[in-house]
Amino acid sequence: MAVTLFAHEWAVRLGAFSVVFAAMALWELRLPKRTLTFGRRPRWPANLGIVALDSVLVRILFPTAAVGVALFCEARGWGLLPWLGIPHALAALLAVIVLDLAIYLQHALFHHVPMLWRLHRMHHADLDIDVTTGVRFHPIEIVLSMLIKFAVVAAAGAPALAVLIFEVLLNATSMFNHSNVRMPPTVDAVVRRLVVTPDMHRVHHSIIRAETDSNFGFNFPWWDRLFGTYRAQPREGHDAMTIGIDAFRDPTELRLDRMLLQPFRGDGKGASAG
Ligand SMILES: [Zn+2]
Ligand SMILES: [Zn+2]
């Protein structure tokens, strides 16, 4: 079964992406959390354009993707988890947790190193936050993340199945926690113990820098609590808060060509280190 799964890896990904995207887009229409300032029309073509561009680029540069790296290492018994002789199921679970920690640390790094912030700030330059913001990343950031992921997968000796599960999960939770959906506060309070919720991640898209530099988690909310970067709610409240960054506030910045050039413009300041 696993072999079939890997052979159709792209179909598994595309299928999961389509289902979660459609579900969140519908939920946003039915029960929106905030009234969007700019709405879908000026933002969605470029946000969806960039995810298409990213997907094609990754396929061309890394045809076997992270799952391929995992299969290669798995066949040779390379990496920490096989070396420790940890049973496969437990190794898979640990690998998902380790990969999530790596993503958290990488995200914090991209905020604090000015050169990396130049790449990542395009994600934050969206002037509204909804399901499409969850897949709006600069192609260079995507390539760098991929290389970091390869290194973590190889060092940990992460089972290929765990890598596939993690990637599908990350894509799904990213769309979930960026979506503009309303959830009763009592439900949010329970869900955010297990997974990052939209209300939790929205704080991260605040224009207030201290809020931007908090809630770095994508899947599990535990790392933010553990490392002291957790912020429960935005200071101005979810309805009144301003989404985006100071550097790019003109609506023309929502165009695909502008987005692609953003890393090479301005002084890169705005990162907490800068
Ligand atoms: Zn960020
Ligand atoms: Zn985000």
- What pLDDT, on the 0 to 100 scale, is given for residue 4? 66
Ligand nearest to the CA of 214: 1
Token reading at 19? 């289902």
For the full predicted model, state whether its pTM sits above 0.85: yes
Rounded CA-CA distance 117/106 in Å is 11
Rounded CA-CA distance 86/165 in Å is 19
Give the Å distance between the CA of 103 and the centre of ligand 1.
Answer: 11
* Cα angle 230, 235, 237; round to 5: 110
Rounded CA-CA distance 117/262 in Å is 11
Closest alpha carbon to 140 in 50, 243, 249, 64: 50
Contacts of 209 (CB under 8 A, 6+ apart): 270, 272
Rounded CA-CA distance 194/79 in Å is 28
* Cα angle 108, 28, 102; round to 5: 20
Contacts of 13 (CB under 8 A, 6+ apart): 167, 168, 171
Rounded CA-CA distance 106/50 in Å is 21
Give the Å distance between the CA of 109 and the centre of ligand 1.
Answer: 10
Residue type, 230: Y
Give the Å distance between the CA of 141 and the centre of ligand 2.
Answer: 13
- What pLDDT, on the 0 to 100 scale, is given for residue 62? 87
pLDDT tens readout for residues 117-169: 999 999 999 999 999 999 999 999 999 999 999 999 999 999 999 999 999 99
Handedness of CA 197, 259, 103, 115 (dihedral sign): negative
pLDDT tens readout for residues 1-22: 556 667 788 889 999 999 999 9
- What pLDDT, on the 0 to 100 scale, is given for residue 149? 95
Give the Å distance between the CA of 108 and the centre of ligand 1.
Answer: 7
- What pLDDT, on the 0 to 100 scale, is given for residue 267? 58
Contact by Cβ (8 Å): 153, 73: yes
* Helix segments in 232-273, DSSP class H: 256-261
- What pLDDT, on the 0 to 100 scale, is given for residue 186? 96
Rounded CA-CA distance 103/89 in Å is 22
Average pLDDT per block of 10 residues along the chain, 274 residues long: 70 94 97 95 97 94 88 92 92 96 97 97 97 97 96 95 94 97 96 97 97 96 97 96 94 95 76 40
Give the Å distance between the CA of 174 and the centre of ligand 2.
Answer: 8
Ligand nearest to the CA of 178: 2
Give the Å distance between the CA of 142 and the centre of ligand 1.
Answer: 13
Closest alpha carbon to 274 in 154, 133, 111: 111
Give the Å distance between the CA of 18 and the centre of ligand 1.
Answer: 24
- What pLDDT, on the 0 to 100 scale, is given for residue 266? 79
- What pLDDT, on the 0 to 100 scale, is given for residue 271? 47
Q: Which residues pair with 163 in a beta bridge?
A: none
Contact by Cβ (8 Å): 155, 80: yes
